[in-house]
Structure 1
Amino acid sequence: MKALVVPGYGPPGTFTVEDLPIPEPGPGQLQVRVAAASLNPADLLMTAGTVREMVPLDFPFVPGTDAAGTVTKIGPGTRGFEVGEEVFGFGAPPSFAAGVGIPAVTSGALAEYATFQAGPFLAKRPPKLSVVTAAALPSTGMTGLAVLERGRFQPGETVLVIGAPGGIGSVVVPLLAAQCVVLATGTGPDRDYVRGLGATEVIDHRGTDLIGEVRRRHPGGIDAVVNLALTGEAVIAATRTLRPGGRLLSTTPGTPAHPAVTTVMGTTDLRPGTMDTLAAHVLDGILPEPATTTHPLSDAPRALADLAQQHTRGKLVVIVDPAATR
């Protein structure tokens, strides 16, 4: 089978598409013929070695955690799925899954075939949910729903979403906008996109002092911040936009400790049925289909390089089986 291969820690320019043996499903696993897989910043963190102490990788390594495809084999003792069923969901490298204690292991989604652990991180794909959308949903959707759950947002609250044009923002902003006043960061063409997601106000974080602008517009402070982009001390600085008793929820790795800050990880805050909920929200129109840019598997190294070097809107999706996405 063709797969994206990472030979060792390094940038996407060192990755290649090569032939590898098709992985066989172990106990409690499924083998999936991958139709499409989406990219996430975590793919870059792991392959660059940034989080190697927490997530050591064995090389050669096949990246990719989010996918949609067709079940082709069932491992021993696996229940709830059948060969031929369309599925979508999330899986992590064994070291990551073991480190955070989740039953979600994959051999790597950026390949023609991958194995996935059967369980709450995998679901059957409804026929009306497109393959590309299904591949784009898992990580961002899990994290977005976890933010809403942990944030306990109340009707009428004012919430700033930093990094709204990205994949998680495409989930968080529409769900928040149903009950809250949403401020969001965005520049250029992203302004209209973020407003379309439901943001009431859009602030150009590159052309202005974000904290000062929020304080100017809301002198008493706002109720909450959802950080999807800032890292390090910039996260703590964003708490200056909060009213007394306000809270900040952050999804970025390495968020510093602070009394007003809660770190959210979709993988550890997952509830049973999350994948089914995400699919239903898209099909019911509660969530818009995420903006996606697609690449063939042969172009996966460049797609990851784009994710690393460029501002991207929505999700980058690698089409592994073009026939299955028509």
Structure 2
Amino acid sequence: MIATATAQDADYIRDLGAAETVDYREADVVEGALKLVPGGVDVVVDLINRGEGLAGSARAARPGGRLVSPLFGPGELDRGVSPFYIGSFVPEPGDLEDLAGRAADGGLRVEIGARYPFDDAVQAVADFAGKHIRGKVVVTVS
């Protein structure tokens, strides 16, 4: 798996399971992925782009590969890439119990990058949108 990350977060992302990383601040992500896998990857998961940007991301997929996005895609994609739209996550029976069990026994890794008291919730949203925070942002209500 190839993931995007800053150079300072590359080891962290590899610890989460990525085999390789592309620094999105220093290189074009599609070109970086194609340098690592010249024929294209099997699946591109793009959580950011839509329209032409999403079509650009599809260039990293191999012919016949898949593009996965929760956003609206372009009408046509180049290179025979099959678009796949994810509107929302709907758990299957047993998924939530499995996640709860993994969380309870330490098998589910979640890193908290920042914590804010409820009174600072507006600042939490501003920091989430404007800063690079590695991990989850938590707003506590007590």
Matched, 1:299 2:120: yes
Q: Which residue, out of 220, 224, 245, partners 2:39?
A: 220
Identity %, equivalent residues = 38
Does residue 254 (structure 1) correspond to residue 72 (structure 2)? The answer is yes
- Classify 1:315/1:205 alpha carbon distance in 2 versus 1 (closer, same or farther; 3 Å): same
Q: 1-side partners of 2:136 and 2:50: how far apart?
A: 20
Q: 1:193 to 1:257 in 2, by over 3 A?
A: farther
Give the Å deviation of 1:300: 0.3
Larger radius of gyration, structure 1 or 2? 1
Distance 1:191 1:205, change over 3 A: same
Q: What TM-score, normalized to structure 1?
A: 0.39
Q: 1:316, 1:255 → 2: CA distance? A: 28
Q: Is the contact between residue 112 and residue 138 of structure 2 (CA under 8 Å) also seen in structure 1?
A: no
Q: 1:265 aligns with which of 75, 87, 95?
A: 87
Match of residue 12 from structure 1: none
The number of residue pairs the alignment matches comes to 138
CA distance in 1: counterparts of 2:132 and 2:13, whole angstroms: 14
Q: What CA deviation, in whole Å up to 9, does each residue of 1:277-313 have, x standing for no partner?
A: 2222333454312334110000001111112222332
Q: Which amino acid aligns with 2:50?
A: T
Partner of 1:184: 3
The answer as to whether partners of 2:110 and 2:136 remain within 8 angstroms in 1 is no
- Give the TM-score of the pair, scaled to structure 2: 0.83
The match for 1:311 among 121, 124, 132 is 132
Structure 1 residue 240: Cα displacement = 0.8
Q: Deviations over 1:127-146 (max 9, x none)?
A: xxxxxxxxxxxxxxxxxxxx
CA displacement, residues 88-120 of structure 1 (integer Å, 9 cap, x when unaligned): xxxxxxxxxxxxxxxxxxxxxxxxxxxxxxxxx
> Any unmatched runs of 5+ in structure 1?
1-181, 322-326
Instruction: Report 1:128-207 matches (<5 A).
Output: 182-207=1-26
Higher relative contact order (CA 8 A, sep 6+): 1
Q: Which residue of 2 aligns with 1:63?
A: none
